[in-house]
Amino acid sequence: MPRVSTVREKSLKRQVLKDYRSNLVNGLGNPERYFPLFRSAGILNKYDCEKICHEVTSKDKVGVLMEILDEGRQARDGRTPFDVLVDVLIQEGVHTAVAGGLQRALARAMERDKIGVLYENHGKDGYTPLNEGNIIAFNPQYGVLEGS
């Protein structure tokens, strides 16, 4: 059973898909080959597939797929559309580099989010000040740790 994402993680996953939409639209090719895997997960239904197939170009088809994924439907097993997309890309073996790029982008987004939460809560009761441990400073403008 896959691990269920928190609300914050789901939000970050949707944002990564939005940020990488252009790359996905330009690089995935015809998404029809992924329909069985998306349908078995419960992310796409018959009508979604028909809507996608109605488009003429592969880019337009991927664009419609991305719109559907952005609706935030959960898979039957609780996975997010992001998770299903990454799994589909890996299972198909065609776009494993794209899947890896999405996973790395999510990891960076989660790290920035974790650091941002520390920064937002700096000095509040119940939170560790940023200058303790191995986190010395966070630059909110650039989103980087300094001196860790």
Q: Which pLDDT tens digit goes with each residue over 47-79?
A: 999 999 999 999 999 999 999 999 988 898 989
Query: What is the chain's mean pLDDT, rounded?
Result: 79
- CATH, domain 7-110, list 1.10.1060.10, 3.80.10.10, 1.10.533.10, 3.30.1600.10: 1.10.533.10
Residue 4 pLDDT exceeds 60 = no
Burial 73-107 (b: 16+ CB within 10 A, else e): bbbeeebbbbbbbbbbbeeeeebeebbebbbebbe
In the block, tokens 């995935």 appear at: 28
pTM: 0.73
Residue 110 pLDDT exceeds 80 = yes
Domain boundaries, the chain: 7-110
pLDDT for position 116: 57
